[in-house]
Amino acid sequence: MRVFVTGGSGHIGSALLPELLGAGHQVTALARSDAAADKLTDAGAEVRRGDLDDLDVIAQAAAEADGVIHLAYRSDLLHTGDTDGLIAANLKVIEAVGGSLAGTGKPLVVPLGTLALWAAGLTGRPGTEDDTVGSGPMAESENATIALAERGVRASVIRLSPVVHSDLDMRGFTRALIGTARQKGVAAYIGDGANRWPAVHTLDAARLFRLALESAPAGSRLHGVAEEGVPFREFAEAIGRHLGLPAASIAPQDAAGHFGFLGMFAAADNPASSALTRQRLGWAPVGPGLIADLDAGHYFG
């Protein structure tokens, strides 16, 4: 299969490209810089120059492909807290790709997050793939992607854990929390820290994207979740242990000032199941868990 990938030089993309190429697929990847283009070429992909604002370039590359995986996002908007701008930019790409693939039955795989279930008010149990998010800013990209199934696109969404971890992770939430702990001198959690975040190893996530590309039915919602929910306090304590810093509770009203853009999520209780994903695609995560991966030390070098 000829696969067009956005975000191929990023965290998950750097694991996805060898996963796709190793399975016999051909890969063309979007690159906005010379450094990204060199990295993609070294990985064995063909390069299409452009960025997420180059919708004509993206649409043409999608039209020439047998399937698309859209990983890229405007990280500058995420880290400044401009969620409206982030969502609007993502929706434009989804629509451009969807227009190119409409009526072809070709696959499109888009990552979103299990945190959308928390934002939609799901509480009291782990979220499942059959749970939907009817409205709200975190629901728009998911629902726009799923709606493409009605236009003849084999579209699927992978709700990723908020923590995707490995030695390939250079800018994810784990890195941000470690940086905050270093800056503030404390590895913080909110309240009793019993709220749970799901987690998945990068290599397991990459394999799930390949499986979704190859066989996910149109309109599928899938969960990139290996661990259903790691208590945030355990997460903070592992970070503190490796940095030689105390782990301590802070009040909810202090979360934004302490965690910055992550303050809105730090108290989220977001357990999620991937039982249906494993059943439907035969996905079986094998990578180390979050705490074991932190204890491997590579995040603290």
Domain layout of the chain by residue ranges: 2-163+202-225
How much is the average pLDDT of 54-65? 97
**Rounded to an integer, what is the distance from CA 144 to the centroid of its chain?**
17
What is the rounded average pLDDT for all residues in the chain? 95
- Identify the CA nearest to 196 among candidates 167, 161, 224: 161
- Place 132 in a pLDDT band, splitting at 50, 70 and 90: very high
Does the pLDDT at position 61 exceed 80?
yes
Q: What is the pTM of this model?
A: 0.95
User: 2-163+202-225, what's its fold?
Assistant: Rossmann fold (3.40.50)
At residue 73, the pLDDT reads 76
pLDDT tens, residue by residue, 79-128: 555 567 778 889 999 999 999 999 999 999 999 999 999 999 998 999 99
Whether the Cβ atoms of residue 180 and residue 260 lie closer than 8 Å to each other: yes
At residue 157, the pLDDT reads 98
Q: What percent of the chain has pLDDT over 70?
A: 96
Residue recorded with tokens 């191929």: 8
